[in-house]
């Protein structure tokens, strides 16, 4: 499943990555891959910002703002029947995804 384009807060720091592959093992949406013995973000738009990769990276090579991303906005909109709000202007954070 793809979420809203270009909104995920996932960041990868290749200089900290050792290529252990733990992030690939725990990511539920195959966001990451290995290339040249390092993790790479292969499809950022699939990231639901769950934080599994960050919680399981022993080298601190990843960051993500867990639970505040567009996945939360999409889930809320599915439950309420409305449209997801992705207003990154700093306005109403409880309904925004950024």
Q: What is the pLDDT of residues 47-93, one digit of tens each?
A: 888 889 999 999 999 999 876 555 666 677 778 887 665 544 444 44
Give the torsion sign (CA, 42, 74, 8, 29): negative
- pLDDT computed for residue 69 by the predictor: 57
To the question of pTM greater than 0.85 for the whole model, the response is: no
Domains of the chain: 11-80 (3.30.70.20)
- pLDDT computed for residue 90 by the predictor: 40
Most confident of 4-18, 32-46, 58-72: 32-46
Distance between alpha carbon 93 and the CA centroid of its chain, in Å?
18
């Amino acid at each position: 499943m793809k979420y809203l384009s270009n909104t995920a807060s996932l960041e990868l720091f290749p200089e900290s990555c050792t290529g252990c592959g733990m992030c690939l093992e725990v990511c539920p949406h195959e966001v990451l891959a290995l290339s040249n013995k390092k993790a790479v973000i292969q499809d950022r738009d699939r990231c639901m910002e769950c934080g599994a990769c960050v919680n399981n990276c022993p080298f601190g090579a990843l960051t993500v703002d867990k639970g505040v991303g567009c996945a939360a906005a999409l889930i809320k909109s599915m439950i309420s029947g409305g449209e997801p709000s992705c207003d990154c202007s700093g306005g109403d954070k409880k309904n925004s995804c950024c």
